[in-house]
Structure 1
């Protein structure tokens, strides 16, 4: 019996900045993405995370916002009302970009943690494009990946508890593209890490 051919996955690190905790009442203000690597039957091959990237700042979809959430990114909401990309245009461009970098692989969104960014990204994709290049479940949470490899409870995971050699060299700036690139570095390190007790 012939083994079923495994279709490769393309890992796309995604980070979003938003002005509140959930999509709908609140808005995604920026979207950054970076190709982190490709995973096939032979294993994971990291990419240069700064090479294939995407970034857009979006017009808010409503009036509500949480000042503390807005302050995290430092984005000027009034400027985005006037100058931000229309969400339907930005998300269509994002889908085209994902297809262009895929090379026949199945795209997988990855984030740290994925839950917040995936919630906004998937909601925006379905609302403004009607579909998702990642399907309905094509996301990988790096906190879960670390917890599984390290053998620790998920709620015990924080970057400060990880071995230093796994952490990205780039800073976490709360700029969506910077952070997507930083997360792509973290994914590559996690994928290569055999687990606790291994040399750095």
Structure 2
């Protein structure tokens, strides 16, 4: 395992609250930076990306959850990738980036719990090699902000963050757009000294 890590900003859109009974509709991955153990180097999060839209795995869905992304479930059923195809392609992409950068992937999200739950479950369920992130190579940006700002996790909201930490990109609920936007937030948090 390489000593260096590369950070993958991830965003998921889904048609319900949990994987299994419900389906992941799409996901986006964007490489946001590399850390060699001493120095963090930001990467343009729009430069190395992966995006997939997936076929539903069940008939169950929550119309309100599905409406967030604006994706059409009928179109996904016809044109979306099979989950195994999407997850194996994502794993291969991550392996390629890992070889290019000489670093191991770390999953980052805000908040981590939702996106990690979906991606880890789908990788374990559908990818031939399981999760490229192992079971725990992940970072919660909400917790990172709370620790640096010295606030309780419950108060670590984007609204409470200094505006200079936030990306100027719009939050569109397209998984790739949002992964890129979140990648910029991650970079800003990594460089931030906690000064309000």
TM-score by length of 2: 0.96
Counterpart in 1 of 2:109?
Answer: 111
CA distance in 2, matches of 1:185, 1:76: 28
Counterpart in 2 of 1:18?
Answer: 14
Counterpart in 1 of 2:162?
Answer: 163
SS of residue in 2 equivalent to 1:34 = strand
Q: CA 1:35–1:71 in structure 2 vs 1: closer, same or farther (change >3 Å)?
A: same
SS of residue in 1 equivalent to 2:190 = helix
Larger Rg over CA atoms: 1
1:13 touches 1:109 (CA, 8 Å); kept in 2? yes
1:152 and 2:148 correspond:
no
Counterpart in 2 of 1:67?
Answer: 63
Match of 2:79 among 70, 77, 83: 83
SS of residue in 2 equivalent to 1:184 = helix
2:2 touches 2:102 (CA, 8 Å); kept in 1? no
Aligned pair count reads 193
1:46 and 2:42 correspond:
yes
Runs of 4 or more consecutive aligned structure 1 residues displaced over 4 Å after TM superposition: none
Q: Please give the residue correspondences for 1:122-141 in structure 2 after superposition, counting only pairs within 5 Å.
A: 122-130=120-128, 131-141=130-140
Gaps of 5+ in 2: none
SS of residue in 1 equivalent to 2:8 = strand
1:6 touches 1:40 (CA, 8 Å); kept in 2? no
SS of residue in 1 equivalent to 2:90 = helix
CA distance in 2, matches of 1:7, 1:173: 35
Gaps of 5+ in 1: none
TM-score by length of 1: 0.94
Shift of 1:6: 7.7
Shift of 1:81: 0.5
Q: CA 1:17–1:147 in structure 2 vs 1: closer, same or farther (change >3 Å)?
A: same
CA distance in 1, matches of 2:21, 2:112: 20
Q: Deviations over 1:8-27 (max 9, x none)?
A: 11100010100000000000
CA distance in 2, matches of 1:165, 1:16: 25
